Amino acid sequence: MDELRVLWMALAAYVVAGSAGIVGVLLKKRPERSVLGLMLLGVLLHTASIALRWERLGHGPYVTMFEILSSNIWSMMVAFTLAYWRVPQIRPSAAVVMPILFLVMGWMLMTSSVEGHLPPTYHTTWLYIHIGFGKVFFGAVLVALGISGVILLRGTAYGAGRFERLPPDANLSELAFRCMAIGFVFETLMLIAGAIWAQDAWGRYWAWDPLETWAFLTWLVLAGSLHARFTYKLSPRAGALLVATVFVVAFLTFFGVPFISKTPHQGAV
């Protein structure tokens, strides 16, 4: 079956799952098994689509903007599906997470799916390690954002009665920052692996190109948020705002810089 057709099927499963999760929060229903099943179906179909394209082109989904968006949607869905399955208390956070994923899906649908040229510098194992660490980092921050979004919404008239069965804000805040700590570890590993890749590919560990600079800025913001969380007695809402700030910077790093750069990784060719 054509990889794009399988991808559209995966996106349809994601949209139905996300819509059901959002409607469930709005109507105070609990379609959680259906949502989990649809998300898992979408991930499996998306995995098959990526594998089919990888087999056809001979390289992974990291060359064109379409491939980068597709692989990031996949990794974000894997991270959130795992969290949704393993931590039932945070399942209503789908109402926060899924609209973000819908935005990236819409962006991908407006991007050309034509294959691109694989630069010689991408023929290295360190590329896979670097990308893998980055995806774990962003997935952890996405889960933290979903939890933090619940904290922020629960303080409004809109969300006061819709998230009442979730744990107290203090418990949610602790869980969100555990996810942030996981993200910090993996972003640190991502930067180290990226520097080794850069040395292997271009003969230098660091050159302050736009993506390197923004990745380091994200690391500083994330480190600062963890420092503030453990040094000062922040309220759950203040902690949630810190998580949201980190996510915005990380989102710009993952999706803003590659979009405005001449290549997915400035200086890659």
- Pick the closest to residue 16 from 5, 31, 1, 4 (CA basis): 31
> How many other C-beta atoms can be found within 10 angstroms of the C-beta atom of residue 41?
17
Amino acid at 114: V
CA distance readout (Å), 244 to 42, 97, 101, 105: 26, 12, 15, 20
Which residue would you say has higher pLDDT here, 63 or 241?
A: 241
Tokens representing residue 188 in the block: 């640190």
Tokens representing residue 171 in the block: 């418990």
**Side-chain half-sphere CA neighbours of 212 within 13 A:** 16
Q: Answer yes or no: is pLDDT of 176 > 70.
A: yes
Which residue would you say has higher pLDDT here, 105 or 60?
A: 105
> How many other C-beta atoms can be found within 10 angstroms of the C-beta atom of residue 155?
15
What pLDDT is stored for residue 117 in this prediction?
Answer: 81
What pLDDT is stored for residue 262 in this prediction?
Answer: 57
CA distance readout (Å), 210 to 99, 143, 185, 262: 28, 26, 22, 11
Check: CB of residue 113 under 8 Å from CB of residue 120.
no
Q: Answer yes or no: is pLDDT of 64 > 60.
A: yes
CA distance readout (Å), 246 to 100, 242, 257: 15, 6, 16
Tokens representing residue 173 in the block: 């805040």
Confidence of residue 1 (pLDDT cuts 50, 70, 90): low
Task: State pTM to two decimals.
Answer: 0.92
